[in-house]
Structure 1
Protein backbone atom coordinates (compact mmCIF):
# COMPACT_ATOMS: atom_id res chain seq x y z
CA UNK A 1 0.00 0.00 0.00
CA UNK A 2 1.51 3.36 -1.03
CA UNK A 3 2.32 5.91 1.68
CA UNK A 4 1.26 9.53 1.07
CA UNK A 5 4.38 11.44 2.07
CA UNK A 6 2.72 14.73 3.03
CA UNK A 7 0.22 12.97 5.30
CA UNK A 8 2.97 10.91 6.92
CA UNK A 9 5.05 14.06 7.55
CA UNK A 10 2.08 15.88 9.08
CA UNK A 11 1.42 12.97 11.43
CA UNK A 12 5.09 12.81 12.42
CA UNK A 13 4.99 16.51 13.30
CA UNK A 14 2.10 15.82 15.67
CA UNK A 15 4.14 13.00 17.23
CA UNK A 16 6.95 15.45 18.09
CA UNK A 17 4.83 16.99 20.83
CA UNK A 18 4.73 15.29 24.21
CA UNK A 19 4.92 16.07 27.93
CA UNK A 20 8.50 17.37 27.59
CA UNK A 21 7.93 19.21 24.30
CA UNK A 22 4.65 21.05 24.68
CA UNK A 23 5.79 23.96 22.48
CA UNK A 24 8.26 23.84 19.59
CA UNK A 25 9.72 26.42 17.23
CA UNK A 26 9.69 25.88 13.49
CA UNK A 27 13.51 25.63 13.64
CA UNK A 28 13.37 22.74 16.11
CA UNK A 29 10.63 21.01 14.14
CA UNK A 30 12.65 21.37 10.92
CA UNK A 31 15.73 19.84 12.54
CA UNK A 32 13.86 16.93 14.09
CA UNK A 33 12.03 16.23 10.86
CA UNK A 34 15.14 16.83 8.74
CA UNK A 35 13.10 19.03 6.43
CA UNK A 36 13.53 22.51 5.02
CA UNK A 37 11.74 25.26 6.94
CA UNK A 38 9.55 26.16 3.96
CA UNK A 39 8.23 22.58 3.77
CA UNK A 40 7.59 22.47 7.51
CA UNK A 41 5.90 25.87 7.37
CA UNK A 42 3.43 24.61 4.75
CA UNK A 43 2.66 21.50 6.79
CA UNK A 44 2.16 23.54 9.96
CA UNK A 45 -0.15 25.99 8.22
CA UNK A 46 -2.27 23.09 6.94
CA UNK A 47 -2.47 21.56 10.40
CA UNK A 48 -3.18 24.98 11.88
CA UNK A 49 -6.02 25.69 9.46
CA UNK A 50 -7.65 22.44 10.61
CA UNK A 51 -7.05 23.25 14.32
CA UNK A 52 -4.67 20.32 14.93
CA UNK A 53 -1.89 22.81 15.61
CA UNK A 54 -2.05 26.31 17.13
CA UNK A 55 0.60 29.01 17.40
CA UNK A 56 1.44 30.87 20.59
CA UNK A 57 1.11 34.53 19.61
CA UNK A 58 3.50 35.66 22.33
CA UNK A 59 6.54 33.55 21.40
CA UNK A 60 5.67 32.19 17.94
CA UNK A 61 6.02 28.57 19.05
CA UNK A 62 3.65 25.85 17.93
CA UNK A 63 1.60 23.51 20.13
CA UNK A 64 -1.09 20.87 19.74
CA UNK A 65 -4.61 22.17 19.09
CA UNK A 66 -7.93 21.30 20.69
CA UNK A 67 -9.03 19.37 17.60
CA UNK A 68 -6.89 16.46 18.81
CA UNK A 69 -8.63 16.62 22.17
CA UNK A 70 -12.00 16.49 20.40
CA UNK A 71 -10.97 13.52 18.24
CA UNK A 72 -9.54 11.70 21.25
CA UNK A 73 -12.79 12.22 23.13
CA UNK A 74 -14.69 10.54 20.32
CA UNK A 75 -12.56 7.40 20.69
CA UNK A 76 -12.76 7.40 24.49
CA UNK A 77 -16.49 8.09 24.55
CA UNK A 78 -17.16 5.20 22.16
CA UNK A 79 -15.18 2.84 24.39
CA UNK A 80 -16.90 4.12 27.54
CA UNK A 81 -20.25 4.18 25.79
CA UNK A 82 -20.41 0.46 25.18
CA UNK A 83 -19.31 -0.36 28.74
CA UNK A 84 -21.83 2.04 30.27
CA UNK A 85 -24.69 1.07 27.96
CA UNK A 86 -24.36 -2.71 28.16
CA UNK A 87 -26.20 -3.29 31.45
CA UNK A 88 -29.03 -0.98 30.43
CA UNK A 89 -29.42 -2.73 27.07
CA UNK A 90 -29.48 -6.14 28.76
CA UNK A 91 -32.09 -4.94 31.24
CA UNK A 92 -34.28 -3.60 28.44
CA UNK A 93 -33.97 -6.82 26.45
CA UNK A 94 -34.80 -8.91 29.54
CA UNK A 95 -37.88 -6.76 30.20
CA UNK A 96 -39.24 -6.89 26.67
CA UNK A 97 -37.71 -10.12 25.26
CA UNK A 98 -36.78 -8.04 22.21
CA UNK A 99 -33.45 -7.57 20.44
CA UNK A 100 -31.75 -4.32 21.44
CA UNK A 101 -29.01 -2.51 19.48
CA UNK A 102 -26.49 0.25 20.10
CA UNK A 103 -25.35 2.10 16.98
CA UNK A 104 -22.99 5.00 16.20
CA UNK A 105 -22.75 7.17 13.10
CA UNK A 106 -19.87 6.60 10.69
CA UNK A 107 -20.15 8.89 7.70
CA UNK A 108 -23.34 8.02 5.81
CA UNK A 109 -23.94 4.82 7.75
CA UNK A 110 -24.76 3.60 11.21
CA UNK A 111 -22.45 0.96 12.72
CA UNK A 112 -23.65 -1.60 15.25
CA UNK A 113 -21.30 -1.54 18.24
CA UNK A 114 -23.41 -3.75 20.50
CA UNK A 115 -26.39 -6.07 20.31
CA UNK A 116 -28.40 -8.00 22.89
CA UNK A 117 -30.42 -10.77 21.25
CA UNK A 118 -33.95 -11.08 22.61
CA UNK A 119 -35.83 -14.32 22.95
CA UNK A 120 -38.90 -12.87 21.25
CA UNK A 121 -37.46 -12.13 17.80
CA UNK A 122 -34.39 -12.88 15.72
CA UNK A 123 -33.09 -9.93 13.70
CA UNK A 124 -31.15 -11.19 10.70
CA UNK A 125 -29.67 -7.97 9.32
CA UNK A 126 -27.93 -6.77 12.49
CA UNK A 127 -24.59 -7.86 13.87
CA UNK A 128 -21.80 -6.04 15.70
CA UNK A 129 -19.60 -4.23 13.21
CA UNK A 130 -22.16 -4.22 10.42
CA UNK A 131 -23.06 -0.95 8.70
CA UNK A 132 -26.66 0.04 8.13
CA UNK A 133 -27.98 2.77 5.79
CA UNK A 134 -29.24 5.86 7.61
CA UNK A 135 -32.34 6.20 5.42
CA UNK A 136 -33.79 2.73 6.08
CA UNK A 137 -32.95 2.38 9.76
CA UNK A 138 -34.55 3.86 12.86
CA UNK A 139 -31.10 4.29 14.39
CA UNK A 140 -29.83 6.12 11.31
CA UNK A 141 -32.71 8.59 11.46
CA UNK A 142 -32.14 9.21 15.18
CA UNK A 143 -28.41 9.71 14.67
CA UNK A 144 -28.85 12.51 12.14
CA UNK A 145 -32.06 14.18 13.35
CA UNK A 146 -30.12 16.35 15.82
CA UNK A 147 -28.13 17.91 12.99
CA UNK A 148 -29.24 21.01 11.09
CA UNK A 149 -30.84 20.60 7.67
CA UNK A 150 -27.72 22.04 6.04
CA UNK A 151 -25.52 19.54 7.88
CA UNK A 152 -27.74 16.66 6.83
CA UNK A 153 -27.83 17.75 3.19
CA UNK A 154 -24.04 17.96 3.21
CA UNK A 155 -23.83 14.52 4.84
CA UNK A 156 -26.03 12.89 2.20
CA UNK A 157 -24.34 14.48 -0.80
CA UNK A 158 -24.09 11.68 -3.37
CA UNK A 159 -26.07 9.33 -1.10
CA UNK A 160 -27.84 6.41 -2.75
CA UNK A 161 -31.39 6.01 -1.41
CA UNK A 162 -31.54 2.32 -2.25
CA UNK A 163 -34.85 0.56 -1.60
CA UNK A 164 -34.10 -2.48 0.56
CA UNK A 165 -37.81 -3.28 0.86
CA UNK A 166 -41.01 -1.96 -0.69
CA UNK A 167 -41.38 0.43 2.26
CA UNK A 168 -37.88 1.96 2.12
CA UNK A 169 -37.49 5.72 1.68
CA UNK A 170 -36.10 6.35 -1.80
CA UNK A 171 -35.47 10.10 -2.08
CA UNK A 172 -33.86 13.01 -0.26
CA UNK A 173 -37.23 14.75 0.02
CA UNK A 174 -38.79 11.76 1.76
CA UNK A 175 -35.81 11.43 4.05
CA UNK A 176 -35.85 15.10 5.12
CA UNK A 177 -39.59 14.86 5.81
CA UNK A 178 -38.96 11.76 7.92
CA UNK A 179 -36.20 13.54 9.87
CA UNK A 180 -38.63 16.36 10.69
CA UNK A 181 -41.08 13.79 12.08
CA UNK A 182 -38.31 12.30 14.23
CA UNK A 183 -37.53 15.73 15.68
CA UNK A 184 -41.16 16.26 16.61
CA UNK A 185 -41.70 12.77 18.09
CA UNK A 186 -38.38 12.40 19.92
CA UNK A 187 -37.92 8.91 18.51
CA UNK A 188 -37.61 7.27 15.09
CA UNK A 189 -39.24 4.33 13.39
CA UNK A 190 -38.19 1.75 10.82
CA UNK A 191 -41.45 0.28 9.53
CA UNK A 192 -40.21 -2.81 7.65
CA UNK A 193 -37.73 -0.61 5.76
CA UNK A 194 -34.67 -2.79 6.43
CA UNK A 195 -36.19 -6.22 6.78
CA UNK A 196 -39.72 -7.35 5.86
CA UNK A 197 -41.75 -8.29 8.91
CA UNK A 198 -39.59 -6.31 11.37
CA UNK A 199 -40.42 -2.95 12.94
CA UNK A 200 -37.76 -1.02 14.84
CA UNK A 201 -37.91 2.00 17.15
CA UNK A 202 -34.86 4.08 18.14
CA UNK A 203 -33.95 6.92 20.53
CA UNK A 204 -30.69 8.91 20.62
CA UNK A 205 -28.03 8.70 23.34
CA UNK A 206 -26.25 11.89 24.41
CA UNK A 207 -22.84 12.53 25.96
CA UNK A 208 -22.00 14.98 28.77
CA UNK A 209 -22.21 17.95 26.40
CA UNK A 210 -25.61 17.02 25.01
CA UNK A 211 -24.24 15.84 21.70
CA UNK A 212 -25.91 12.77 20.16
CA UNK A 213 -23.20 10.10 20.05
CA UNK A 214 -25.28 6.96 19.51
CA UNK A 215 -28.77 5.57 19.18
CA UNK A 216 -30.37 2.60 20.91
CA UNK A 217 -33.12 0.59 19.24
CA UNK A 218 -35.49 -2.31 19.73
CA UNK A 219 -36.86 -4.60 17.04
CA UNK A 220 -40.20 -6.41 17.05
CA UNK A 221 -42.22 -8.51 14.59
CA UNK A 222 -44.70 -6.33 12.70
CA UNK A 223 -47.56 -8.57 13.90
CA UNK A 224 -46.86 -7.44 17.47
CA UNK A 225 -46.25 -3.78 16.63
CA UNK A 226 -49.61 -2.42 17.73
CA UNK A 227 -49.81 1.29 18.53
CA UNK A 228 -50.13 0.47 22.24
CA UNK A 229 -47.09 -1.81 22.18
CA UNK A 230 -44.99 0.68 20.22
CA UNK A 231 -45.85 3.40 22.72
CA UNK A 232 -44.78 1.09 25.53
CA UNK A 233 -41.51 0.24 23.76
CA UNK A 234 -40.74 3.90 23.04
CA UNK A 235 -41.23 4.82 26.70
CA UNK A 236 -39.00 1.96 27.86
CA UNK A 237 -36.36 2.89 25.28
CA UNK A 238 -36.45 6.54 26.30
CA UNK A 239 -35.88 5.53 29.91
CA UNK A 240 -33.01 3.29 28.83
CA UNK A 241 -31.28 6.03 26.81
CA UNK A 242 -31.97 8.53 29.60
CA UNK A 243 -30.10 6.26 32.03
CA UNK A 244 -27.20 5.74 29.61
CA UNK A 245 -26.90 9.45 28.80
CA UNK A 246 -27.09 10.43 32.46
CA UNK A 247 -24.35 7.96 33.34
CA UNK A 248 -22.23 9.47 30.55
CA UNK A 249 -22.61 12.85 32.27
CA UNK A 250 -25.54 14.46 30.48
CA UNK A 251 -27.69 16.59 32.79
CA UNK A 252 -31.27 16.51 31.50
CA UNK A 253 -32.49 18.95 34.15
CA UNK A 254 -29.84 21.50 33.23
CA UNK A 255 -30.61 21.02 29.53
CA UNK A 256 -34.29 21.78 30.18
CA UNK A 257 -33.42 24.95 32.08
CA UNK A 258 -31.13 26.15 29.27
CA UNK A 259 -33.94 25.75 26.75
CA UNK A 260 -36.25 28.07 28.72
Structure 2
Protein backbone atom coordinates (compact mmCIF):
# COMPACT_ATOMS: atom_id res chain seq x y z
CA UNK A 1 0.00 0.00 0.00
CA UNK A 2 1.36 3.39 -0.98
CA UNK A 3 2.10 6.02 1.62
CA UNK A 4 0.23 9.31 1.41
CA UNK A 5 3.45 11.10 0.40
CA UNK A 6 4.16 8.75 -2.51
CA UNK A 7 0.55 9.04 -3.69
CA UNK A 8 0.76 12.85 -3.68
CA UNK A 9 3.98 12.77 -5.69
CA UNK A 10 2.44 10.41 -8.24
CA UNK A 11 -0.60 12.67 -8.56
CA UNK A 12 1.61 15.72 -9.05
CA UNK A 13 3.56 13.90 -11.76
CA UNK A 14 0.30 12.83 -13.40
CA UNK A 15 -0.77 16.48 -13.56
CA UNK A 16 2.55 17.57 -15.07
CA UNK A 17 2.35 14.76 -17.64
CA UNK A 18 -0.96 16.16 -18.88
CA UNK A 19 0.88 19.14 -20.38
CA UNK A 20 1.85 18.43 -23.99
CA UNK A 21 2.53 20.45 -27.14
CA UNK A 22 -1.10 19.94 -28.12
CA UNK A 23 -2.63 20.50 -24.65
CA UNK A 24 -0.40 23.10 -23.04
CA UNK A 25 -3.00 24.84 -20.83
CA UNK A 26 -5.25 23.14 -18.27
CA UNK A 27 -7.92 24.20 -15.82
CA UNK A 28 -8.77 22.57 -12.49
CA UNK A 29 -12.05 21.13 -13.82
CA UNK A 30 -10.41 19.69 -16.94
CA UNK A 31 -7.63 18.03 -14.93
CA UNK A 32 -10.18 16.71 -12.45
CA UNK A 33 -12.11 14.98 -15.24
CA UNK A 34 -9.04 13.64 -17.03
CA UNK A 35 -7.37 12.22 -13.92
CA UNK A 36 -10.58 11.28 -12.11
CA UNK A 37 -9.55 13.16 -9.00
CA UNK A 38 -11.55 15.66 -6.99
CA UNK A 39 -11.22 19.36 -7.77
CA UNK A 40 -9.98 20.02 -4.26
CA UNK A 41 -7.12 17.53 -4.67
CA UNK A 42 -6.19 18.95 -8.08
CA UNK A 43 -6.34 22.52 -6.76
CA UNK A 44 -4.21 21.71 -3.71
CA UNK A 45 -1.50 20.08 -5.82
CA UNK A 46 -1.56 22.92 -8.38
CA UNK A 47 -1.12 25.47 -5.60
CA UNK A 48 1.96 23.59 -4.40
CA UNK A 49 3.33 23.24 -7.94
CA UNK A 50 2.70 26.94 -8.54
CA UNK A 51 4.42 27.94 -5.31
CA UNK A 52 7.50 25.96 -6.38
CA UNK A 53 7.55 27.29 -9.94
CA UNK A 54 6.49 24.12 -11.76
CA UNK A 55 3.32 25.70 -13.15
CA UNK A 56 2.20 29.26 -13.89
CA UNK A 57 -1.34 30.58 -13.65
CA UNK A 58 -2.74 32.55 -16.57
CA UNK A 59 -4.12 35.81 -15.17
CA UNK A 60 -6.76 36.02 -17.89
CA UNK A 61 -8.16 32.47 -17.94
CA UNK A 62 -7.09 31.28 -14.46
CA UNK A 63 -5.79 28.14 -16.12
CA UNK A 64 -2.31 26.70 -15.76
CA UNK A 65 0.71 26.16 -18.01
CA UNK A 66 4.16 24.76 -17.30
CA UNK A 67 6.32 27.07 -15.21
CA UNK A 68 9.86 28.31 -14.89
CA UNK A 69 11.16 25.34 -12.89
CA UNK A 70 10.12 22.87 -15.58
CA UNK A 71 11.79 25.10 -18.17
CA UNK A 72 14.98 25.13 -16.09
CA UNK A 73 14.95 21.33 -15.90
CA UNK A 74 14.19 21.21 -19.62
CA UNK A 75 17.21 23.41 -20.25
CA UNK A 76 19.40 20.84 -18.51
CA UNK A 77 18.03 18.21 -20.90
CA UNK A 78 18.32 20.57 -23.86
CA UNK A 79 22.00 21.06 -23.08
CA UNK A 80 22.51 17.43 -24.01
CA UNK A 81 20.74 17.77 -27.34
CA UNK A 82 21.99 18.94 -30.70
CA UNK A 83 20.22 22.27 -31.12
CA UNK A 84 21.93 24.18 -28.33
CA UNK A 85 25.36 22.66 -28.98
CA UNK A 86 25.19 23.51 -32.66
CA UNK A 87 23.72 26.99 -32.16
CA UNK A 88 25.92 28.27 -29.31
CA UNK A 89 29.18 28.91 -31.25
CA UNK A 90 27.18 30.56 -34.05
CA UNK A 91 25.39 32.73 -31.49
CA UNK A 92 28.70 33.72 -29.93
CA UNK A 93 30.00 34.79 -33.33
CA UNK A 94 26.77 36.76 -33.91
CA UNK A 95 27.26 38.51 -30.60
CA UNK A 96 30.77 39.58 -31.60
CA UNK A 97 29.65 40.82 -35.02
CA UNK A 98 26.66 42.82 -33.77
CA UNK A 99 27.65 43.76 -30.22
CA UNK A 100 24.09 42.84 -29.27
CA UNK A 101 22.43 40.01 -27.37
CA UNK A 102 21.53 36.81 -29.21
CA UNK A 103 18.67 34.51 -28.17
CA UNK A 104 17.82 30.94 -29.17
CA UNK A 105 14.09 30.22 -28.92
CA UNK A 106 12.28 26.91 -29.30
CA UNK A 107 8.60 26.43 -30.12
CA UNK A 108 6.56 24.55 -27.54
CA UNK A 109 2.89 24.32 -28.34
CA UNK A 110 1.54 27.86 -28.63
CA UNK A 111 4.52 29.38 -26.90
CA UNK A 112 8.17 30.11 -27.54
CA UNK A 113 10.79 29.34 -24.89
CA UNK A 114 14.16 31.06 -24.70
CA UNK A 115 16.63 28.19 -24.19
CA UNK A 116 20.01 29.88 -24.70
CA UNK A 117 21.40 33.40 -24.63
CA UNK A 118 24.64 35.14 -25.49
CA UNK A 119 24.56 38.45 -23.69
CA UNK A 120 25.68 41.72 -25.24
CA UNK A 121 25.82 45.33 -23.99
CA UNK A 122 22.03 45.58 -24.18
CA UNK A 123 21.22 42.19 -22.66
CA UNK A 124 18.68 43.75 -20.29
CA UNK A 125 16.39 44.10 -23.28
CA UNK A 126 15.90 40.33 -23.62
CA UNK A 127 16.75 39.03 -20.17
CA UNK A 128 13.03 38.56 -19.44
CA UNK A 129 12.63 36.41 -22.57
CA UNK A 130 15.26 33.87 -21.55
CA UNK A 131 13.93 30.82 -19.73
CA UNK A 132 10.36 32.10 -19.85
CA UNK A 133 7.60 31.00 -22.18
CA UNK A 134 5.75 33.73 -24.08
CA UNK A 135 2.88 33.37 -26.58
CA UNK A 136 3.83 33.12 -30.23
CA UNK A 137 2.51 36.59 -31.06
CA UNK A 138 4.91 38.29 -28.62
CA UNK A 139 8.18 39.60 -30.06
CA UNK A 140 10.29 38.79 -33.11
CA UNK A 141 11.69 35.48 -31.82
CA UNK A 142 8.17 34.12 -31.34
CA UNK A 143 6.40 35.78 -34.28
CA UNK A 144 8.81 34.21 -36.74
CA UNK A 145 7.89 30.80 -35.30
CA UNK A 146 4.19 31.52 -35.73
CA UNK A 147 4.63 32.86 -39.28
CA UNK A 148 6.15 29.60 -40.52
CA UNK A 149 3.52 27.24 -39.12
CA UNK A 150 0.74 25.75 -41.24
CA UNK A 151 -2.09 28.05 -42.30
CA UNK A 152 -4.48 25.95 -40.23
CA UNK A 153 -2.34 26.44 -37.11
CA UNK A 154 -2.07 30.20 -37.74
CA UNK A 155 -5.82 30.65 -38.37
CA UNK A 156 -6.72 28.67 -35.23
CA UNK A 157 -4.20 30.62 -33.18
CA UNK A 158 -5.46 34.01 -34.36
CA UNK A 159 -9.06 32.99 -33.74
CA UNK A 160 -8.65 31.41 -30.29
CA UNK A 161 -5.72 33.07 -28.53
CA UNK A 162 -5.88 36.16 -26.33
CA UNK A 163 -3.87 38.56 -28.52
CA UNK A 164 -2.44 40.88 -25.88
CA UNK A 165 0.83 42.78 -26.28
CA UNK A 166 3.23 42.15 -23.39
CA UNK A 167 4.74 45.64 -23.19
CA UNK A 168 1.56 47.69 -22.70
CA UNK A 169 -1.16 45.02 -22.35
CA UNK A 170 -2.83 46.47 -25.43
CA UNK A 171 -5.01 44.29 -27.64
CA UNK A 172 -3.60 43.29 -31.03
CA UNK A 173 -5.88 43.32 -34.07
CA UNK A 174 -5.92 39.80 -35.54
CA UNK A 175 -6.09 41.07 -39.13
CA UNK A 176 -3.10 43.37 -38.61
CA UNK A 177 -1.13 40.50 -37.07
CA UNK A 178 -2.11 38.21 -39.96
CA UNK A 179 -0.70 40.71 -42.46
CA UNK A 180 2.49 40.99 -40.41
CA UNK A 181 2.90 37.20 -40.40
CA UNK A 182 2.49 37.10 -44.19
CA UNK A 183 5.21 39.75 -44.53
CA UNK A 184 7.52 37.85 -42.17
CA UNK A 185 7.07 34.66 -44.18
CA UNK A 186 7.77 36.47 -47.44
CA UNK A 187 10.89 38.21 -46.14
CA UNK A 188 12.17 35.29 -44.05
CA UNK A 189 12.79 37.52 -41.03
CA UNK A 190 10.79 39.23 -38.26
CA UNK A 191 11.65 42.74 -37.06
CA UNK A 192 9.80 44.17 -34.06
CA UNK A 193 10.15 47.10 -31.68
CA UNK A 194 8.56 47.45 -28.25
CA UNK A 195 6.53 44.23 -28.44
CA UNK A 196 7.80 42.76 -25.17
CA UNK A 197 9.94 45.55 -23.64
CA UNK A 198 9.56 49.25 -24.32
CA UNK A 199 12.64 50.62 -26.03
CA UNK A 200 13.81 47.22 -27.25
CA UNK A 201 13.93 45.78 -30.77
CA UNK A 202 14.27 42.25 -32.06
CA UNK A 203 15.31 40.67 -35.36
CA UNK A 204 14.66 36.92 -35.77
CA UNK A 205 14.93 34.21 -38.43
CA UNK A 206 13.51 30.66 -38.48
CA UNK A 207 15.48 27.48 -37.83
CA UNK A 208 14.41 24.34 -39.71
CA UNK A 209 14.70 20.73 -38.58
CA UNK A 210 15.69 17.83 -40.81
CA UNK A 211 12.08 17.45 -41.98
CA UNK A 212 11.89 21.04 -43.17
CA UNK A 213 9.71 22.24 -40.28
CA UNK A 214 10.38 25.48 -38.40
CA UNK A 215 10.75 24.61 -34.73
CA UNK A 216 13.15 27.25 -33.38
CA UNK A 217 14.50 30.72 -34.08
CA UNK A 218 17.63 32.78 -33.57
CA UNK A 219 17.26 36.47 -32.80
CA UNK A 220 19.28 39.59 -32.06
CA UNK A 221 17.95 42.14 -29.61
CA UNK A 222 19.02 45.54 -28.32
CA UNK A 223 17.84 49.06 -27.57
CA UNK A 224 15.66 50.79 -30.17
CA UNK A 225 17.39 54.18 -29.91
CA UNK A 226 20.57 52.70 -31.38
CA UNK A 227 18.78 50.79 -34.09
CA UNK A 228 18.80 52.57 -37.45
CA UNK A 229 16.97 51.30 -40.52
CA UNK A 230 20.22 50.49 -42.33
CA UNK A 231 21.39 48.49 -39.31
CA UNK A 232 18.13 46.52 -39.30
CA UNK A 233 18.90 45.45 -42.86
CA UNK A 234 22.46 44.43 -41.96
CA UNK A 235 21.41 42.49 -38.85
CA UNK A 236 18.57 40.81 -40.78
CA UNK A 237 21.10 39.38 -43.24
CA UNK A 238 23.36 38.17 -40.43
CA UNK A 239 20.46 36.57 -38.54
CA UNK A 240 19.20 34.77 -41.66
CA UNK A 241 22.70 33.51 -42.40
CA UNK A 242 23.06 32.21 -38.83
CA UNK A 243 19.64 30.50 -38.98
CA UNK A 244 20.59 28.92 -42.30
CA UNK A 245 23.86 27.57 -40.90
CA UNK A 246 22.16 26.06 -37.84
CA UNK A 247 19.42 24.53 -40.02
CA UNK A 248 21.94 22.87 -42.34
CA UNK A 249 23.91 21.45 -39.42
CA UNK A 250 20.66 20.01 -38.05
CA UNK A 251 20.10 18.22 -41.35
CA UNK A 252 17.75 20.62 -43.14
CA UNK A 253 17.63 19.13 -46.66
CA UNK A 254 17.09 22.27 -48.76
CA UNK A 255 19.73 24.46 -50.36
CA UNK A 256 18.72 27.68 -48.65
CA UNK A 257 16.34 29.35 -46.25
CA UNK A 258 13.40 31.61 -46.96
CA UNK A 259 14.55 34.75 -48.72
CA UNK A 260 18.17 33.65 -49.25
CA UNK A 261 20.09 31.13 -51.33
CA UNK A 262 23.39 29.53 -50.40
CA UNK A 263 25.47 30.97 -53.19
CA UNK A 264 24.54 34.59 -52.51
Range into which the TM-score falls when normalised by the shorter chain: 0.5 to 0.7
Alignment of 1:1-260 (within 5 A): 1=8, 2=11, 79-166=81-168, 170-253=172-255
Distance 1:255 1:98 in 2: 23
Please provide the CA RMSD for this pair.
2.9
Partners of 1:87 and 1:233 lie apart in 2 by 17
Change (3 A) 1:168 1:79: farther
Q: Is the 8 A contact 1:200 1:217 kept in 2?
A: yes
In 1, Cα distance between equivalents of 2:13 and 2:169: 44
When residues 101 and 124 of structure 1 are mapped into structure 2, their CA distance, relative to the original with a 3 A threshold, is: closer
Report Cα offsets for 1:47-79 as digits up to 9, x if no partner: xxxxxxxxxxxxxxxxxxxxxxxxxxxx98992
- Would the alpha carbon gap of residues 255 and 124 (structure 1) be closer, same or farther in structure 2, given more than 3 Å must change? closer
Change (3 A) 1:109 1:254: closer
Structure having the higher Rg:
1
How far does the alpha carbon of each residue in 1:161-219 deviate from its partner, in whole angstroms, 9 at most, with x for none? 12323596613222211111111111012211111110101000111221112000001
Kindly tell me: are residues 163 and 128 of structure 1, through their superposed partners in 2, closer, same or farther at Cα, counting changes over 3 Å? closer
Q: 3-state SS of the aligned residue for 1:132? A: strand
SS of 2:97's equivalent? helix
2:61 maps to which residue? none
CA distance in 2, matches of 1:196, 1:4: 38
**Pair 138,127 (structure 1): closer, same or farther in 2 beyond 3 Å:** closer
- CA–CA distance in structure 1, aligned partners of residues 122 and 114 of structure 2: 20
- Secondary structure, counterpart of 2:131 in structure 1: coil
More moved, 221-230 vs 147-156: 147-156
**Alpha-carbon contact 1:189-1:201 (below 8 Å) kept:** yes
Structure 2 gap segments, 5+ residues each: 1-7, 18-76, 259-264
**Is 2:188–2:257's contact at 8 Å kept on the other side of the alignment?**
no
Structure 1 residue runs of 5 or longer lacking an equivalent are 9-74
2:104 match: secondary structure: strand
Find the residue that maps to 2:160 and give its secondary structure: coil
CA–CA separation in structure 2 for the residues paired with 1:84 and 1:121: 22
TM-superposed deviation, 1:141: 1.1
Provide the C-alpha distance between the structure 1 equivalents of 2:123 and 2:79, rounded to a whole number of angstroms.
30
TM (normalized to structure 2)?
A: 0.63
Instruction: Tell me, yes or no, if the aligned pair for 2:126 and 2:221 is still in contact at 8 Å.
Output: no
Task: Name 2:4's counterpart in structure 1.
Answer: none
